[in-house]
Amino acid sequence: MVYATSWAVTIYFAYQRTWKPFNPILGETYEMANHLGINFISEQVSHHPPMSCGHAENEHFTYDVTSKLRTKFLGNSLDVYPVGRTRVTLKRTGEVLDLVPPPTKVNNLIFGRTWLDSPGEMVMSNLTTGDKVVLYFHPCGWFGAGRYEVDGYVYNKDEEPKILITGKWNNSLSYQPCDIEGEPLPGTELKEVWKVTEMPENDKFQYTYFAHKLNSFDTAPRGLLPSDSRLRPDRSALELGDLNKAGVEKTRMEEKQRAEKRQRESLKQEFTPRWFRLTGDVTSTPWGDMEVYEYNGKYAEHRSRIEASPSEADIDSKSQAFKPWQFESEI
User: If residue 42 lies in a helix (H) or strand (E), which one and from where to where?
Assistant: strand 38-46
Predicted local distance difference test score (pLDDT) of residue 222: 87
Q: Are 37 and 160 in contact (CB under 8 A)?
A: no
Predicted local distance difference test score (pLDDT) of residue 137: 97
Residues of the chain with pLDDT under 70: 311-314, 326-331
In one-letter notation, the amino acid at residue 122 is M
116-145 pLDDT, tens digit each: 999 999 999 999 999 999 999 999 989 888
205-250 pLDDT, tens digit each: 888 888 888 888 988 898 899 999 999 999 999 888 898 999 999 9
Looking at the domain covering 2-27+63-219, what would its CATH class be?
mainly beta
**Would you kindly state where each structural domain of the chain is located, as residue ranges?**
2-27+63-219
In the beta sheet, which residues pair with residue 90? Answer: 61
Within a 10 A sphere around the Cβ of 188, how many other Cβ atoms? 13
Q: Are 54 and 32 in contact (CB under 8 A)?
A: no
Burial class from Cβ neighbours inside 10 Å (0-12, 13-18, 19+) for residue 11 reads exposed
Burial letters 223-249, b for 16+ CB under 10 A, else e: bbbbbbbbbbbbbbbbeeeeeeebeeb
Predicted local distance difference test score (pLDDT) of residue 330: 45
Burial class from Cβ neighbours inside 10 Å (0-12, 13-18, 19+) for residue 324 reads buried
In the beta sheet, which residues pair with residue 154? Answer: 133, 163
